[in-house]
Structure 1
Amino acid sequence: MIELGQGTAAPAAADLIKEGTEASFMADVVEASQQVPVIVDFWAPWCGPCKTLGPMLEKAVTEAKGAVKMVKIDVDRAQSIAAQLQIQSIPTVYAFYKGQPVDGFQGAIPQSEIKAFVDRLVAQGGGAPGGEEDGLAEALQTAEDMLAAGQAEDAAQVFAAIAGEAPDRAAAHAGLVRAHIAMGDLEQAEAILNGVDASISHAPELEAAHAQLQLARQAADAGPVDDLRARVEADPDDHQARIDLAKALHATGNTEEAVDQLLESFRRDREWNDGAARAQLFTLFDALPPQDPVALKGRRRLSSMIFA
């Protein structure tokens, strides 16, 4: 598989880019992604677009200087893994972080989109250069503290001021969205999300804010917890009732039990309604901070179910 670009790799590339197998998948991908995001490139020697995409991915991973890693999986030699992840066409690329698929795409895409994809993963893994160690970082923290203290209107003013001064600060726009969600102004929150510049629209902070907006909209339609719980107890395989119960639980602040209910639905029938339980879990995980213990525990449990 020299054709995928190993001949031009930097000397340290062996630590960043490797060939994976079914036997090494848990160690190379699931376990390694506990430290940094891991990109998995599903390809085959007979796939022309794969041979174009592979070197482009390698280039972007190498330029990230260790903030992400890459594993190449030949689907002809790893049919079980490909089936578990429902790989239906190649090239398909998945990104794992903390043992969980967090992003991905199918088909060959331009180098600019590959770079944006890798940059999102670098940011999600905490390895983005630069950070926010400047004067605006203190203002951002002040706004976050206001929001946590229930002072949503004051926080919104500070976030808006920061976003006006530094339009490329995704954290400021995301904070402004969350402040409007806290005030119950979901239309304005959505307008802010729709108005951010395309260059930062996929930043992890904004993706999380979007997930929080989705959950806030669901909360408005959530039914009574007791009624939904009774429906689930009467019929444990009523997946719609269980997912609605999870939404209602989250709306009342019981996120951990919401995750438990969704995991139980996934355990019983992972394919129900096109994987609705898994999709709802992703939304919940995306809305929580990356190191939130509920999110970390839930991701680990979901991974163990997927790769059992």
Structure 2
Amino acid sequence: MSTPNHRPAPAASSMNLRGAVDLSALKAKATAPPAAAPGPAGAAPAASSPYIVEVSEQSFPQVVQLSAQVPVIIDLYSPRSPESAEVSAVLQNVVTEADGKLLLARVDVDAHPQIAQAFQAVAVPTVAAVLKGQPVPLFDRAVPEEQIRALVAELLQVAAANGVTGSLNEAGASEPAEEAPLSPLHQEAYDAIVEGDYDGAAAAYRRALAEMPADAEAKAGLAQVELMARLKGVDAEKLRTAAAENPNDVDAQLAVADLDISGGHVEDAFNRVVRLIARVFGDDREKARLRLLDLFEVVGVADPRVNKARSALARALF
């Protein structure tokens, strides 16, 4: 895992519940017995605050479930990284001050690489959130305390807009309501994702869309699993180098756009593809256009950044 890079961190605006993170394999372990330890999420407290916990693959499913009551901030850190320690200290203060309105789940990526892989973390510190079981990428490098606080403030606003307004101080907060069962084809896709079979998941979503073309969840799910399939096993540094050396190589540019989306750098990804579309023609332009539409689905078509990119796309095409 690489050390943090120096690109500007994403602005604290237009946060979306959709992200390119596969939590399914970790959520699927919810039936496994959690570690016997105190704390609201069934994991051992990382500090004196009861709202800060260290989690493992075994206890992580409970953290995901608890995100139906409060926003859960995921702090992917390494004891070897001084930057991780700085970010962790800020997050611990912010969560403690929130007094039960947030949970901080700390993950030692050296000890629990599967969780880091699920969040596609390629650097430490990487910080994300989970709301109602949905991932929200935040940042993947050390950022100033003011920006962290701004991102957390917006996270709470997004949580409130989605009905996540509970508190860990409330009785029964650790017992989230059961989720409604998935439809058969969506369940098939979910099971395929758990097995790492992204092609099988994509096939299930396509069948769901054939039965119901207006199925927005299937359309978004298809775009997301296709993205995860493209990113599986990639070398991020090599992809970025190839794109820098070959600015008109459509595949190289789209690969980096995928990486940017997965890391939460939505506007960077959209701008890269739009600029590419303005430079290329014919089949290459159409390939880039279709990929951009898929990335819109991953981010969420109602996201203001998507609307802005659609306008830029129209200018690039016409």
Structure number with higher relative contact order (C-alpha < 8 Å, ≥ 6 residues apart): 2
Select the structure that is richer in helix: 1
Output the TM-score relative to the length of structure 1: 0.45
Structure with higher Rg: it is: 1
Output the TM-score relative to the length of structure 2: 0.44
